[in-house]
Amino acid sequence: MCMSLGGRAAESVVFNRITTGAQDDLEKVTKSAYAQVKMYGMSERVGPLSFAPQPGFEAEADLYKKPYSAMLQHTMDQEVSSLVAKAYFTAEKLIRDNRDLLEKLAKTLLKKEVLSYEDIKALIGPPKYGDKQVVELAEHVLPKPENNATF
């Protein structure tokens, strides 16, 4: 979430204003936070509950039925708001703490327009937690679904 909010946080820190440019990122972060709280049971306040969308709803009225109370909805909304706010404040702090590196990258981008991963490493140093590792699963790890299998 912090990574997705980085552009918006950088606008706030660098330009002291926010534009509409990060709207798509904000929408994705909000959906991700709702999924954590409502579908994956990742909220201590809400608990291990899952309210995933139900497939096969035909009637329009069924789409708006909620299997939980208005109070629980309010709690879930608060949790989502808190998750997004914490991620945003963390992103802003990271931008402030690394403003010199951001400026260095920005100046180089103005000159070169495109930077490779190696260029970025040379400018700001290696990633804090090491280079990313690509993990490929062998075909035999995941079972192949049968023709008539239902999940």
Q: For the stretch 15-40, what's the b/e string if a residue is b when 16 or more beta carbons lie within 10 angstroms of its beta carbon?
A: eeeeeeebeebbeebeebbbebbbee
Give 20-69 pLDDT, tens digit per residue.
888 999 999 999 999 999 999 999 999 999 887 766 655 555 545 688 89
Cα atoms found within 13 Å of the Cα of residue 45, Cβ hemisphere only: 15
In the chain, beta strands by DSSP E: none
Domain of residue 12: give its range.
6-141
Instruction: Please give the share of the chain, as a percent, with pLDDT higher than 90.
Output: 63
> Does residue 60 lie within any of the structural domains?
yes
**What pLDDT, on the 0 to 100 scale, is given for residue 151?**
47
What is the CATH number for 45? 1.20.58.760
Q: What is the pLDDT of residues 127-151, one digit of tens each?
A: 888 877 887 776 666 556 566 555 4
Q: Confirm whether 72 is domain-assigned.
A: yes
CB–CB of 76/38 below 8 Å?
yes
Q: How many domains does the chain have?
A: 1
CB 88 within 8 A of CB 8: yes
Within-domain flag for 151:
no
Contact yes or no for 4/29 (Cβ under 8 A): yes
Nearest to 102 by CA among 87, 81, 131, 123: 123
Could you give the 3-state DSSP secondary structure of residue 135?
coil
Task: Tell whether 29 is covered by a domain.
Answer: yes
In a domain? residue 1: no
- 147 located within any domain: no
Determine contact, residues 39/52, Cβ cutoff 8 Å: yes
Q: Is residue 146 part of a domain?
A: no
Tell me how far apart the alpha carbons of residues 113 and 51 are, in angstroms, rounded to a whole number.
45
Q: Let me know: does 6 contact 95? Beta carbons within 8 Å.
A: yes
